[in-house]
C-alpha cells in the first residue's frame, strides 16, 4: 500500500500544538504573578497567623491589595507595609497581614482579590486550626474568682473646685468694690455741683471770662451763658421756676416778692436784671449785636446783682437747716441702700451661676442635695465600716456601725435558742439595716416560737422560702401594706448560697394614716442549726439609698463557726 503525505494537514497539526503549548505557558506565567501563604496552619487561641501575598509585576502596573476585615472568620489585627524588591526589570511586592481568632476550631481563610492593572487575581483559600490552651490541673490548682474589693476613688484635683469658687468670689467682690463701694474721685463737674449756689454762680462767671466768646465775637453764645448763670442762681435761691419763665414772668415774680416783703430786693437790682435779660432776648431772637464793651459791662452788672441778691436773702432758720440736713442724710441712705441691693443681687447671681454650672456637670438633684444636705447622701459618701456580727459571723460593710438590739427569748427556750440582732435605723427611717443570727441547740428539732420579729426553729434543713414568708408577715404586723414579693437565688462573693427576697410596699408614716412607698431586700442563709437574716429597707425614689443597698449586698460574706 502506498502512503500519501498531506503537507497542509501536517502544518495545521504543528500550529495547533504550538498554540496549546503557548496557552499552557501563558497560563503558567500568569499563575506565577500572585502567590499566597501562611506561616502556620495550627496555632493556639489568640496567637497570630501571618498571612502573606506575593506579587511580581513590572513597574507600569498598579497593584491593589485587600483592605479591611476581608479575612473573616479570622480577625485582622495588623496590616504590615508592602515590602518591595527589584528583580531585573520587574518588582517583587510582598504584603503581610496579622490574623487571629479567639475561639477554637477549624477555619477557612477565604479567597482574597488582588487587582493588578486592569485585571483581578484571586488567591487560594487556606484552612487553619485554632487549638485550645491545655491546662494541666495536676500542676496548676483552680481557685474561685476573687470577690470585688471596694476601692475609694482618689481625686487628686479636689482643690480645683474650691479654687474656682474662691476666684469667682474674688472677681465679683473686686468688681463690686471698684464700681459700687469704692469712693471714686470726683470729676470737675461733680465738684462744681457740690458747691453752694452762690459759689457756683461766681465760678461760672469766672469761666465765662476765660471763654473765647467775646474774642471770636460770639455775642449770642456769650449772652446765653451769662443769663443762664443768673437764672440758675435765681432758680435755686429765689424762684424755683426761673429757668423756664420768660423775662416778663420772672421780673413780675421778683416784683411780687419785693412787694410782699419776702425778699428785700431794691428797685435798681430788679431794673438791672430786667435790662440785661431783655438785651439778651434781643441778641438771641432779634439778632441784635451790642458791642463787646457793653457785653463785658453786663457781665459785671450780673456779678454785682448776684452779690446783692445774696445779701438780701434771709438766713435759713434752724428748721430749714434741719430739713436740709435730713434731706442730705436721706439721699445718703438711698445711695447706700442702692449699693446694698446691687451687691446682694450680684451675690445671688453668682450663686445661681455656680449652681447652674454644677447642675450641668453633676445633675440638678445631686447638686441640690449637696448644697441643702441629704441624709442618705451623707451616709453614702461618709466613712463606711466593715465588721462581723453574730456567731457564726456575718461580715458586712455598712455606712454606720450596727448596734446590738434587744431580742428577748422566753425563759423556757433560752437554753435551746440563741438570737443575736444588730441594726441601724428602723423601717420608719429613710434607711435601715438589720442583721439577725438565730442559733438552735441540736436537740431543738421541731419546736417553733414567734419571738421578737424572728421565728425560732430548727434550722438544719430549714426551708428558706418559709423563713422569707415569716419575715414578710412581720412586715404586715408592722402595718406595711401592698407588699410585692420577688425571689431569686443569691450567692455571696465568698460562695455562700442563700435566698434573696425583694420588692416594695407602703410604709406607715409614724402613728398617722399616711403611707410612703418603700423598698426592701431580704437575704436568708441557713447552716447547721443556724438561720442568718439580713434585711435592708429604704424609701422610694432615693437613688443614694438604692446605691447603699446594692453596696451592702455586694459586701456580705458568711464565715463558718470555729
For residue range 182-224, list pLDDT tens digits in order.
Answer: 777 767 777 777 788 888 888 998 888 888 888 888 888 999 9
pLDDT at position 49: 92
Cis amide leading into 73 (omega within 30): yes
Do both 307 and 402 map to the same domain?
no
pLDDT of residue 128: 93
Same domain, residue pair 308 and 383: no
CB-CB contact of 98 with 77 (8 Å)? yes
Provide the grid cell at 208. Answer: 465765662
Q: What is the pLDDT of residue 26?
A: 37
Give the pLDDT confidence score for residue 157 in this predicted structure.
60
Cell of 238: 429765689
- Residue-wise pLDDT for 361-394, tens only, equals 767 666 666 666 567 788 888 889 888 888 788 8
pLDDT at 454: 46
Which CATH number does the domain housing residue 526 bear? 3.40.1000.10
pLDDT for 161: 65
Distance CA 227, CA 234 (A): 11
The pLDDT tens digits for 518-542 are 899 999 998 777 888 999 998 877 8
Q: How many other CB atoms are there within 10 angstroms of residue 6's CB atom? A: 8
Give the C-alpha separation, 419 to 528, whole Å: 15
In sequence order, what E strands does 105-178 have?
A: 105-109, 113-116, 119-122, 126-131
What is the rounded CA–CA span in Å between residue 405 and residue 453?
12
382 lies in the same domain as 273: no
**Chain segment 458-490, per-residue pLDDT in tens:** 444 567 888 888 888 888 888 888 889 999 999
Please check whether residue 458 is in contact with residue 450, taking contact to mean a CB–CB distance below 8 angstroms.
Answer: no
How confident is the model at residue 534, as a pLDDT?
A: 92
How confident is the model over 109-125, as a mean pLDDT? Answer: 89
Confirm whether 234 is domain-assigned. yes
Q: What angle do CA 522, 527, 528 make, to 5 degrees?
A: 150
| Residue predicted with more confidence, 511 or 237 | 237
Instruction: Determine the pLDDT at residue 187.
Output: 76
Q: Is 13 among the domain residues?
A: no
Choose among 123, 128, 117: nearest CA to 35.
123
* Structural domain span for residue 48: 19-131
Q: Is residue 353 part of a domain?
A: no
**CATH number for the domain including 57?**
2.60.40.10
Q: For residue 211, what are the contacts with CB-CB under 8 A and spacing of at least 6?
A: 222, 225
Q: Which of 96, 113, 131 is the last residue of a domain?
A: 131
**What strands, in cross-sheet order, belong to the sheet with 126-131?**
42-44, 126-131, 105-109
Same domain (yes/no): 390, 531: yes
Spatial distance between the Cα atoms of 99 and 106, rounded to a whole number of angstroms: 14
Q: Which three cell numbers stand for residue 413?
A: 427556750
**Whether residue 349 has pLDDT greater than 60:** yes
pLDDT at residue 154 in the model = 53
pLDDT in the model for residue 500:
92
On whether the CB atoms of residues 65 and 82 are closer than 8 A, the answer is yes
pTM over 0.85: no
- Three-state DSSP class for residue 161: helix
Q: Are residues 263 and 389 in the same domain?
A: no
For residues 395 and 555, what is the distance between their CA atoms, to the nearest angstrom?
8
Angle at which helix 364-372 crosses helix 318-362, to 10 degrees, equals 130
- Indicate the helix (H) or strand (E) that contains 534: strand 530-539
**pLDDT at residue 451 greater than cutoff 80:** no
Q: Are residues 404 and 527 in the same domain?
A: yes
| Structural domains of the chain, count | 3
- Evaluate if residue 509 carries a pLDDT over 90: no
- Rounded to an integer, what distance in angstroms lies between the CA atom of residue 313 and that of residue 307? 10
CA–CA dist 182, 536 (Å, integer) = 59
Closest CA to 405 of 453, 464, 441: 453
Q: Examine the domain organization and report whether 25 and 117 are in the same domain.
A: yes
Residue 109 pLDDT: 92
Residues 200 and 103 in one domain: no
416 and 500 share one domain: yes
The pLDDT of residue 301: 92
Q: How confident is the model at residue 502 (pLDDT cuts 50, 70, 90)?
A: very high
- Give the DSSP per-residue string, 173-188: HHHHIIIIIS-PPPPH
pLDDT at 188: 72
Same domain, yes or no, for 124 and 223? Answer: no
Boundary-marking domain end, from 131, 149, 166: 131
- H or E segment to which residue 466 belongs: helix 464-477
Give CA–CA dist 146/139, Å, rounded: 21
Task: State the Cα–Cα distance between residues 78 and 529, nearest whole angstrom.
Answer: 61
Confidence of residue 355 (pLDDT cuts 50, 70, 90): confident
Q: 157 vs 284, which has greater pLDDT?
A: 284
pLDDT tops 90 at residue 52: yes
The number of C-alpha atoms within 13 Å of 332 and in the hemisphere containing its C-beta is: 6
Query: Residue 500 falls within a domain, yes or no?
Result: yes
Quickly count: other Cβ atoms within 10 Å of residue 58's Cβ. 11
- Of 532, 492, 526, the C-alpha closest to 391 is 532
412 & 546 share domain: yes
What percent of the chain is predicted at pLDDT more than 70? 79
pLDDT 10s digits, 291-311: 888 888 999 999 998 989 888
3-state helix, strand, coil in the chain (%, to 5): 40, 25, 35
pLDDT band of residue 96 (cuts 50, 70, 90) is very high
**pLDDT exceeds cutoff 70 at 560:** no
The predicted model gives 321-347 an average pLDDT of 80
- pLDDT value, residue 266: 87
Instruction: Select the more confidently predicted residue: 251 or 140.
Output: 251
In this predicted model, what pLDDT tens digit does every residue of 263-281 receive, in sequence order? 888 889 889 999 999 999 9
Q: What does the pLDDT look like over 14-43, one tens digit per residue?
A: 444 444 433 433 333 343 478 999 999 999
Q: Looking at the DSSP assignment, which residues form a beta bridge with residue 115?
A: 64, 120
Residue 465 resides in a domain? yes
Answer yes or no: is pLDDT of 453 > 50: no
Res. 326: pLDDT tops 80 = no
pLDDT in tens, 383-431: 898 888 887 888 999 988 888 887 776 666 667 778 888 998 887 788 8
Is residue 352 in some structural domain? no
**Rounded distance between C-alpha atoms, residue 501 and residue 485, angstroms:** 7
Q: Is residue 472 part of a domain?
A: yes
- How many angstroms from the chain centroid is the CA of residue 458? 55
421 and 529 inside one domain: yes
What pLDDT shows up at residue 480? 86
Q: Is 200 within a domain?
A: yes
Final residue of a structural domain among 131, 155, 176: 131
The residue behind cell 476613688 is 153
Q: Which helix (H) or strand (E) holds 443?
A: none
First to last CA, the chain: 119
Amino acid at each position: 500500500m502506498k502512503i500519501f503525505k498531506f503537507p497542509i494537514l501536517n502544518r495545521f497539526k504543528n500550529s495547533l500544538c504550538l498554540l496549546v503549548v503557548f496557552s499552557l505557558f501563558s497560563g503558567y506565567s500568569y499563575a506565577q504573578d500572585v502567590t499566597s501563604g501562611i506561616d502556620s496552619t495550627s496555632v493556639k487561641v489568640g496567637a497570630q497567623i501571618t498571612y502573606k501575598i506575593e506579587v511580581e509585576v513590572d513597574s507600569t502596573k498598579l497593584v491593589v491589595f485587600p483592605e479591611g476585615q476581608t479575612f473573616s472568620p479570622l480577625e485582622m489585627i495588623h496590616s504590615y507595609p508592602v515590602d518591595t524588591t527589584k528583580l531585573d526589570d520587574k518588582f517583587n511586592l510582598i504584603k503581610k497581614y496579622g490574623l487571629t481568632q479567639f475561639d477554637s476550631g477549624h477555619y477557612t481563610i477565604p479567597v482574597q482579590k488582588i487587582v493588578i492593572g486592569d485585571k483581578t487575581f484571586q488567591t487560594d483559600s487556606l484552612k487553619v486550626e485554632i487549638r485550645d490552651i491545655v491546662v494541666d490541673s495536676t500542676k496548676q490548682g483552680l481557685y474561685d474568682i476573687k470577690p470585688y474589693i471596694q476601692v475609694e476613688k482618689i481625686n487628686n484635683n479636689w482643690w480645683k473646685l474650691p479654687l474656682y469658687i474662691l476666684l469667682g468670689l474674688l472677681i465679683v467682690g473686686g468688681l463690686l468694690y471698684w464700681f459700687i463701694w469704692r469712693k471714686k474721685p470726683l470729676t470737675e463737674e461733680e465738684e462744681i455741683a457740690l458747691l453752694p449756689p452762690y459759689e457756683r454762680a461766681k465760678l461760672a462767671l469766672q469761666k465765662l471770662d476765660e471763654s473765647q466768646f467775646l474774642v471770636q465775637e460770639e455775642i449770642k453764645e456769650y449772652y446765653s451763658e451769662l443769663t443762664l448763670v443768673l437764672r440758675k442762681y435765681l432758680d435755686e435761691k429765689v424762684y424755683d421756676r426761673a429757668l423756664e419763665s420768660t423775662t416778663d414772668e420772672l421780673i413780675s415774680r421778683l416784683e411780687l416778692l419785693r412787694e410782699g416783703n419776702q425778699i428785700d430786693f431794691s428797685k435798681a437790682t430788679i431794673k438791672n436784671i430786667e435790662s440785661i435779660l431783655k438785651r439778651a432776648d434781643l441778641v438771641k431772637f432779634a439778632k441784635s449785636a451790642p458791642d463787646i464793651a457793653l457785653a463785658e459791662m453786663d457781665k459785671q452788672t450780673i456779678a454785682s446783682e448776684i452779690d446783692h441778691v445774696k445779701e438780701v436773702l434771709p438766713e435759713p432758720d434752724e428748721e430749714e437747716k434741719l430739713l436740709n440736713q435730713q434731706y442730705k442724710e436721706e439721699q445718703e441712705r438711698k445711695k447706700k441702700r442702692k449699693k446694698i441691693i446691687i451687691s446682694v443681687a450680684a451675690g445671688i447671681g453668682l450663686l445661681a451661676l455656680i449652681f447652674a454650672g454644677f447642675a450641668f456637670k453633676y445633675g440638678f438633684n445631686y447638686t441640690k442635695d449637696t448644697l441643702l444636705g441629704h441624709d442618705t447622701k451623707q451616709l453614702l459618701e461618709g466613712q463606711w465600716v466593715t465588721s462581723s456580727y453574730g456567731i457564726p459571723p456575718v461580715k458586712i460593710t455598712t455606712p454606720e456601725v450596727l448596734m446590738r438590739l434587744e431580742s428577748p427569748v422566753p425563759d423556757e427556750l433560752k437554753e435551746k435558742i440563741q438570737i443575736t440582732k444588730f441594726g441601724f435605723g428602723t423601717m420608719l427611717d429613710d434607711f435601715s439595716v438589720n442583721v439577725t443570727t438565730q442559733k438552735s441547740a441540736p436537740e431543738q428539732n421541731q419546736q417553733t416560737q414567734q419571738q421578737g420579729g424572728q421565728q425560732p426553729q430548727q434550722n438544719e434543713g430549714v426551708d428558706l422560702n418559709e423563713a422569707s414568708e415569716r419575715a414578710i408577715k412581720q412586715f404586715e404586723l408592722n402595718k406595711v401594706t401592698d407588699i410585692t414579693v420577688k425571689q431569686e437565688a443569691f450567692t455571696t462573693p465568698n460562695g455562700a448560697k442563700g435566698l434573696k427576697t425583694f420588692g416594695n410596699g407602703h410604709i406607715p408614716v409614724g402613728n398617722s394614716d399616711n403611707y410612703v412607698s418603700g423598698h426592701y431586700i431580704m437575704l436568708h442563709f441557713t447552716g447547721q442549726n443556724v438561720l442568718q437574716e439580713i434585711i435592708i429597707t429604704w424609701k422610694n425614689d432615693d437613688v443614694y439609698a438604692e446605691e447603699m443597698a446594692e453596696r451592702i449586698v455586694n459586701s456580705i460574706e458568711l464565715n463558718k463557726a470555729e
